[in-house]
A = this chain, B = another copy of it.
Amino acid sequence: MDQVFKALADPSRRAILDRLHASNGQTLTQLCEGMAMSRQAVSKHLAVLEAGNLVVCQWRGREKLHYVNPVPIQDIYDRWIGKYERDRLRALADLKRALEDNRDG
């Protein structure tokens, strides 16, 4: 779980995920196009995404195809975001009450 959050923390990696989301199964070279950094840098980012299981690879000859794996993102929602969403109104009410208490006192 930590590796997923870590992987998502970098904007370049989120950009890579977005590109794969737009067109799944791209090679490293394809992903490098228009990425304003060296192939090695992109490769490292992909390694981090793989470590977080956000991207899954498939070798075809000398090409490495990259696919988005949506499962960890779903997990983050289920185990983490959903929990906060559920109590969203309560949290906002807490904030509001704190502000009001302060105004009164």
Listed in ascending order, the chain A residues whose CB lies under 8 Å from chain B are 2, 5-6, 8-9, 11, 14, 17, 21, 24-25, 56, 58, 60, 65, 67-70, 73-74, 76-77, 80-81, 83-85, 87-88, 91-92, 94-95, 98-99, 102, 105
Task: Name the prevailing secondary structure of the A interface residues.
Answer: helix
Which residue of A76, A83, A84, A85 has the most chain B CB atoms within 10 A of its CB atom? A84
Q: Is the CB of A81 within 8 A of B85?
A: no
Complex: chain B residue closest to A61, CB-CB: B105
Question: Nearest chain B CB to A58's CB is how many angstroms away?
Answer: 5
B74 in contact with A85 (CB, 8 Å): yes
**A56 / chain B contacts, CB cutoff of 8 Å:** 95
Among B70, B91, B99, which residue has its beta carbon within 8 angstroms of that of A68? B91
